Structure 1
Amino acid sequence: MDNIAGQKSTLTWVVHISVAALVVLWMFPTVGLFVSSFRTTDQISTGGWWKALFPAEQNLTIRAAAPDTQVNIDGMFVIEGTLFEEGFDASVSSWGISSRDINAFVPGEAAELRRGGTITVDAAGNYRMENTEEFSGSRGQRVFVTATTPPEFTLDNYNKILFSGSPSENMGTAFVSTLTVTIPATIIPILIAAFAAYALAWMEFPGRPLLIAFVVGLLVVPLQLALIPLLKLHLGIGIGKGYLGVWLAHTGFGLPLAIYLLRNYMVGLPRDIIENARVDGATDFQIFTKIILPLSFPALASFAIFQFLWTWNDLLVAKVFLIDATGQTTVMTNRIVEMLGTRGGNWEILATAGFVSMAVPLLVFFAMQKYLVRGLLAGSVK
């Protein structure tokens, strides 16, 4: 009965529900990181990102005005003010003057100060300190407040991450450095692999099957196995640690997959088109540039997505081949690792840095994802 026309089988619904669940699970941390990147430190400390749109209760420590602001009113020394900054909308639910009991009083109650006098705090955060004797000291009274605050979002995190500090410390410099690494490291292997894939697919020469087997074998070579020998080679030929070295490293590590993927796609192209072009007098280069490349665009785009995402998110290769003491060529992944050490408690800064690092790969993936499946399935079905 499941196969009646116009009805979907139970297995189809199971597949759809499973895919939807996987999409939700994949989007859950991404949305959380995005929301957290706009929250303040106090907002993040009060609860998870799913509470960002609702009022939150926070414990705040605020100092009242210093004694030098007191005035004498009818023989009473008075200090008045508000605990919150202008524009900060909050409602005080309880307060205290000792860290041992921060909820000792409710709004409107008066508390006895240790050095004499009283202090009263209302629900809006306005306070009044009174004493028959003059207040002394250089700092104001510390007040612990439990207040309900409305949702708060800010762009200060992005301003701090992208533009604040020296160029060698902010994410803006690392963003440019990552683009400098990623774009050439994506284009160079595509250019080389396209020529190699065409030769392995349509050109006859001795040893071609062995060469194809060798390329397939390189797919299983561990990246870590080649790092140190390759670094010694770079140092030996004089290119050292810099952009050129990291471009060549990414090119070498990405070529086997690129050649394998493009060759499988090109083999599946109609033979009649290529043979007709040769009969008309077209050279291999003309066939490659005017026929093969346009028809192979889905495979090229598919590999470009993989190579771009892998290069953008890479840390290991950048650590080995792109060391810069000044920080001018540090990539974003390495900058985030550094922030974990210097800003481990600033979750809003780390969330913003993480989302900035994710933004470009997400744009690239969604812009070119329609070519991904077409390129991956190329050559699998005749």
Structure 2
Amino acid sequence: MTTLQSAPATAALSPAPPARRSPGLLKRLAGRSTGGLVRLGLLIIALFWMVPTLGLLVSSLRKPLDIQASGWWSIFTAPASLTLHNYTSLLANPAISRSVANSIMITVPATLLVVIIGALAAYIFAWVEFPGRDVVFLIVVGLLVVPIQVALIPVTDLFAKVGIFGSIASVVLFHVAFGLPFAIFLLRNFFAQIPQELLEAARLDGAGELRLFTRVVLPLGGPAIASLAIFQFLWVWNDMLVALIFANSSAAPLTVALTEQTRQFGTNIDVLSSGAFLSMIIPLVVFFAFQRQFVSGLTAGALK
């Protein structure tokens, strides 16, 4: 009897559990952040963000008289008026077709050289010991803050003395010189995060520095290299200042050619819209192609 009577008394004296508080407004919003409502909102924002691009695409597929008569949104009531005549006329222009080839001949070498030289230099700064390594790396990082406008006149004089001013090689060399500091800074910080034990194990297996760089560092550095290639390609392809100064009329890229078209024909929106969309679609194709390499590089680095 004593034991049975003491149990309820003990239960009565024990404190009651605290009442659960209802989650606040911020917590409820955070809990719904992964729901369909937020995804719908992001989709709507993305659609609004794509409206100018859609308008540029539709304008590039319309006739000049239709562009002057109504807005691009009127195409939804008359979709049969779309035509590829603007693109055929644009590519039939020798200046435009030559400028597209010049853009490719400028952008591809400038991107490849920056990636290759930057990766080699980043590996040296990250894993090769030599006197003054940190000082030299700080100098390279300091070059990031140097604007290109400071070097335009001295480099122009240098290229004129060498005899390459006005050629594609002058534009490529200028982009490579100003793209290397960022490439070395980006890749060096990524390569430095590779476990040292992995490199030491490869050295014990007899791997030299070159084989270590190509077989170990480059596969693990795939994400950073893909990102650098995307950035460099977009910077060089969309550049107009450097090409406008260092390239003559026969070596001018697409950005300069479109600028000259604007000066010649002030209201030719059909030529400018198709040329602008052509100038935009090529970097997009390159971006999505490198995006696949970026994802594969992430997976390879995780597996290793």
Alignment partner for residue 273 of structure 2, among 345, 351, 357? 351
- Mapping for residues 226-241 of structure 1, pairs under 5 Å: 226-241=151-166
* Conservation of the 8 A alpha-carbon contact between 1:193 and 1:255: yes
- Give the aligned CA root-mean-square deviation in angstroms: 2.8
Q: Distance in 1 between matches of 2:204 and 2:28?
A: 50
User: Is residue 2:195 matched to residue 1:270?
Assistant: yes
Q: Distance in 2 between matches of 1:29 and 1:268?
A: 41
- Mapping for residues 26-105 of structure 1, pairs under 5 Å: 26-55=49-78
CA positional deviation for 1:18? 6.9
* 2:256 alignment partner AA: N
| Residue 226 of structure 2: aligned partner | 301
User: Is residue 2:188 matched to residue 1:259?
Assistant: no
Distance 1:33 1:229, change over 3 A: same
Distance 1:206 1:19, change over 3 A: farther
* 1:177 alignment partner AA: N
| Residue 137 of structure 2: aligned partner | 212
* Conservation of the 8 A alpha-carbon contact between 1:189 and 1:255: yes
Point out where structure 1 has 5 or more consecutive residues left out of the alignment.
56-149, 377-382
User: Is residue 2:31 matched to residue 1:9?
Assistant: yes
User: Is residue 2:236 matched to residue 1:287?
Assistant: no
Alignment partner for residue 167 of structure 2, among 242, 257, 264? 242
| Residue 89 of structure 2: aligned partner | 160
3-state SS of 1:219 partner: helix
* Conservation of the 8 A alpha-carbon contact between 2:102 and 2:253: yes
The structure in which a higher percent of residues are strand is: 1
* Conservation of the 8 A alpha-carbon contact between 1:53 and 1:151: no
* Conservation of the 8 A alpha-carbon contact between 1:343 and 1:350: no
TM-score (norm 2): 0.82
Distance 1:187 1:15, change over 3 A: farther
Q: Higher relative CO (CA 8 A, sep ≥ 6), structure 1 or 2?
A: 2
* Conservation of the 8 A alpha-carbon contact between 1:178 and 1:332: yes
Cα displacement string for residues 80-112 of structure 1 (whole angstroms, at most 9, x for unaligned residues): xxxxxxxxxxxxxxxxxxxxxxxxxxxxxxxxx
Q: Distance in 2 between matches of 1:15 and 1:212?
A: 44
Cα displacement string for residues 58-93 of structure 1 (whole angstroms, at most 9, x for unaligned residues): xxxxxxxxxxxxxxxxxxxxxxxxxxxxxxxxxxxx
Cα displacement string for residues 239-283 of structure 1 (whole angstroms, at most 9, x for unaligned residues): 222111111100001001110111111111122210101112211
| Residue 115 of structure 1: aligned partner | none
* 1:244 alignment partner AA: A
Cα displacement string for residues 7-42 of structure 1 (whole angstroms, at most 9, x for unaligned residues): 952556797567545533432211111111110112
TM-score (norm 1): 0.66
- Mapping for residues 142-153 of structure 1, pairs under 5 Å: 151-153=80-82
| Residue 319 of structure 1: aligned partner | 244
* Conservation of the 8 A alpha-carbon contact between 2:60 and 2:86: yes
Distance 1:292 1:359, change over 3 A: same
Q: Distance in 1 between matches of 2:44 and 2:139?
A: 40
| Residue 260 of structure 2: aligned partner | 338
Point out where structure 2 has 5 or more consecutive residues left out of the alignment.
1-22, 299-304
3-state SS of 1:52 partner: helix
Q: Distance in 1 between matches of 2:45 and 2:295?
A: 17
CA positional deviation for 1:373? 9.1
* 1:233 alignment partner AA: L
| Residue 368 of structure 1: aligned partner | 290
Distance 1:371 1:28, change over 3 A: farther
* Conservation of the 8 A alpha-carbon contact between 1:2 and 1:10: no
Distance 1:266 1:182, change over 3 A: same
* 2:82 alignment partner AA: F
User: What is the number of residues matched between the two proteins?
Assistant: 275
3-state SS of 1:352 partner: helix
Q: Distance in 2 between matches of 1:268 and 1:22?
A: 37
* Conservation of the 8 A alpha-carbon contact between 1:174 and 1:332: yes
* 1:332 alignment partner AA: L
